[in-house]
């Protein structure tokens, strides 16, 4: 028959074996097929594979092709007809009855005013610039979105790892509670309470694992691969690649302002096109007329000129409309500029505040919660009550979850600032 001491020895050996098994299990990767991907690689793959960037590049090509023909003359017009054909009397529709009747073939060329063609060329060039700006803004959005998806996966993994580390202690307490119950100096209530605490933690671990898988799917939207894990190496979320002053000095290079500035230039070019409508267009034409019964053939040459006589009700109104569009674009750009300045300053304040909070948790709150949990565990192993450990475990768990959430918030705040500008070297 086993004694109380032998029961306790068995319990200690069982607890140690369980801890070793749990430690080995936690260290295993989630899937043998998953591979780690860094933040930089995820962003690079997203930029290489994003369909919207292909669409924007096609838009730039289309705008360039339109610009290449914007200042060209219209196609010439071929004219064919009959002049002075009788339509009444006995000679109606007889092409040879009247000496003035002749068959005619000719060419006509419309020549828009040079000012109009130059203005249209400038407008087309501005539209190319706008397409390029939209493409660059889309690239910035893709980079930032992919980086944000990566940080969501990284955050979920950090939360999962933190919960798995806590599980080792919870499993040890379950083993100790069972051993004490078997030895006669424990209670069934303590054994059930420790088991419930372990099950609650397992439930949180499964939820965190589901969040990690969901984040993997979100990252796959950008890189095309769902079987990836974020690298566990420190990314350096405490330092920005560009200072606050540098961000504010280059605010016009942000994606929303790139497109707003390009649209403003397009609106200004449209005003020039409307003003050029006041200039008259020209046309030239020549035709050759053939007459019947040996009569002499005829050559006709003509020049036409437009008469913009009613500019007050036509061209002037067009100019006024385009100038109103320009003023609207100008005001929109100024409003967007203010929005972006406020957003950058708010994001910097948020990022700096999160750094201070994380430092407080890392240097004080987490060690305090851990030490308290270890102290209550030691007291329980020495024969104390279980409830103090349950309370400290709950506080330790909450602290770990809040810390993981703050890490994720810091990463997202850093992404919002580090991936604002184009052509900047990212850490």
pLDDT at 238 over 60: yes
Band (304; pLDDT cuts 50, 70, 90): very high
Distance CA 19, CA 124 (A): 71
Same domain, 265 and 355: yes
Distance from CA of residue 342 to its chain's centroid?
20
User: Is a pLDDT exceeding 60 seen at residue 190?
Assistant: yes
Mean pLDDT over 97-123 rounds to 92
Closest CA to 167 of 215, 107, 209: 209
99 within domain boundaries: yes
Q: Are residues 145 and 13 in the same domain?
A: yes
CA distances from 388 to 186, 196, 270, 401 (A): 15, 15, 75, 20
Look-up of token digits 């700096």: 352
Given a cut of 70, whether residue 4 has pLDDT beyond it is no
The answer, yes or no, to whether residue 383 has pLDDT greater than 60, is yes
pLDDT at position 44: 92
Asked whether residue 423 is domain-assigned, the answer is no
- pLDDT at residue 100, as a whole number: 86
Range of the domain at 197: 4-73+112-277+314-418
The number of distinct structural domains making up the chain is 2
Q: Are residues 352 and 413 in the same domain?
A: yes
Distance CA 244, CA 341 (A): 11
Residue 280 pLDDT class (50, 70, 90 cuts): very high
pLDDT of residue 275: 95
Same domain, 161 and 180: yes
Q: Is residue 383 located within the same domain as residue 298?
A: no
Query: Same structural domain for residues 89 and 134?
Result: no
Query: Which ranges of 184-237 does DSSP label H, i.e. alpha helix?
Result: 188-223
Torsion angle of the four alpha carbons 202, 208, 209, 212, in this order, in degrees rounded to the nearest 10: -170
Judge if 243 and 290 occupy the same domain.
Answer: no
> Per-residue pLDDT averaged across 390-407, rounded?
85
Domain stops at, among 294, 309, 324? 309
Sign of CA dihedral 338, 339, 341, 345: positive
**Structure confidence at residue 240 (pLDDT):** 87
34 compared with 308, residue with greater pLDDT: 308
The percent of residues in the chain predicted with pLDDT above 90, rounded, is 47
Q: Give me the chain's average pLDDT, please.
A: 85
Cα(229)–Cα(44) distance, rounded to whole angstroms? 16
Better pLDDT: 250 or 424 = 250
pLDDT at position 140 is 93
Q: Give the per-residue pLDDT at 120.
A: 94
Determine, yes or no, domain membership for 425: no
CATH at 383: 1.20.1600.10
3 state DSSP class of 287: strand
207 occurs within a structural domain: yes
Max mean pLDDT among 41-55, 158-172, 369-383 falls in 41-55
Residue 27 belongs to a domain: yes
Residues 270 and 292 in one domain: no
**Domain shared by 195 and 80, yes or no:** no
Is there a single domain that holds both residue 107 and residue 183?
Answer: no
Q: Do residue 220 and residue 304 come from a single domain? A: no
Residue 426, domain member (yes or no): no
Phi, psi of 337 (to 5 degrees): -60, -45
Q: What is the pLDDT of residue 423?
A: 56
Among 54-58, 350-354, 398-402, the range scoring the smallest mean pLDDT is 398-402
- Residue 287 included in any domain: yes
The better pLDDT of the pair 227, 322 is held by 322
Report for 173-177, 194-198, 254-258: range of highest mean pLDDT:
254-258
Q: Which of 28-32, 93-97, 147-151, 358-362 has the lowest mean pLDDT?
A: 28-32
What is residue 125's predicted lDDT score, i.e. its pLDDT? Answer: 95
Q: What is the pLDDT of residue 130?
A: 95
Structure confidence at residue 26 (pLDDT): 35
- Which whole number is the average pLDDT over 376-404? 84
Q: Which range among 124-138, 327-341, 347-361, 375-389 shows the weakest confidence by mean pLDDT?
A: 375-389
Q: Is residue 427 situated within a structural domain? A: no
The answer, yes or no, to whether residue 62 has pLDDT greater than 60, is yes
Looking at the structure, do residues 218 and 82 belong to the same domain, yes or no? no
Predicted pLDDT of residue 233: 64
pLDDT score recorded for residue 5: 38
């Amino acid at each position: 028959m086993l004694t109380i001491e032998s029961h306790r020895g068995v319990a200690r050996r069982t607890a140690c074996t369980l801890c070793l098994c749990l430690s080995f299990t936690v260290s295993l990767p989630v899937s043998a097929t998953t591979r780690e991907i860094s933040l930089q690689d995820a962003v690079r793959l997203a930029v290489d594979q994003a369909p919207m960037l292909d669409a924007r590049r096609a838009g730039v090509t289309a705008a360039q092709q339109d610009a290449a023909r914007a200042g060209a003359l219209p196609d010439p017009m071929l004219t064919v007809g009959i002049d002075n054909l009788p339509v009444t009397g006995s000679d109606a529709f007889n092409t040879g009855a009247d000496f003035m009747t002749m068959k005619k073939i000719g060419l006509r060329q419309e020549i828009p005013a040079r000012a109009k063609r130059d203005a249209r060329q400038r407008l087309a060039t501005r539209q190319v610039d706008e397409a390029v700006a939209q493409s660059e803004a889309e690239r910035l959005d893709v980079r930032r979105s992919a980086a944000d998806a990566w940080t969501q996966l990284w955050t979920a993994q950090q939360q999962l790892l933190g919960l798995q580390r806590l599980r080792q202690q919870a499993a040890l307490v379950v083993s100790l509670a069972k051993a004490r119950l078997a030895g006669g100096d424990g209670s069934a209530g303590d054994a059930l309470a420790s088991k419930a605490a372990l099950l609650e933690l397992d439930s949180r671990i499964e939820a965190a694992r589901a969040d990690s898988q969901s984040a993997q799917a979100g990252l796959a939207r950008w890189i095309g691969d769902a079987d990836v894990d974020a690298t566990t190496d420190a990314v350096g979320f405490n330092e920005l690649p560009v200072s606050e002053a540098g961000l504010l000095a280059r605010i016009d290079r942000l994606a929303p302002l790139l497109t707003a500035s390009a649209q403003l230039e397009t609106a200004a070019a449209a005003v020039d096109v409307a003003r050029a409508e006041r200039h008259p267009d020209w046309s030239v034409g020549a035709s050759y007329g053939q007459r019947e019964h040996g009569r002499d053939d005829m050559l006709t040459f003509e020049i036409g000129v437009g008469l913009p006589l009613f500019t007050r009700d036509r061209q002037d109104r067009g100019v006024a409309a385009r100038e109103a569009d320009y003023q609207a674009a100008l005001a929109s750009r100024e409003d967007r500029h203010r929005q972006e300045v406020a957003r950058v300053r708010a994001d910097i304040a948020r990022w700096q505040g999160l750094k201070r909070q994380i430092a407080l948790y890392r240097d004080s709150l987490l060690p305090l919660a851990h030490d308290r949990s270890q102290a209550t565990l030691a007291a329980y192993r020495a024969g104390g009550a279980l409830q103090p450990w349950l309370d400290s475990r709950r506080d330790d768990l909450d602290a770990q979850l809040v810390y993981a959430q703050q890490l994720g918030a810091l990463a997202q705040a850093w992404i919002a600032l580090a991936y604002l500008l184009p052509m900047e070297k990212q850490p």
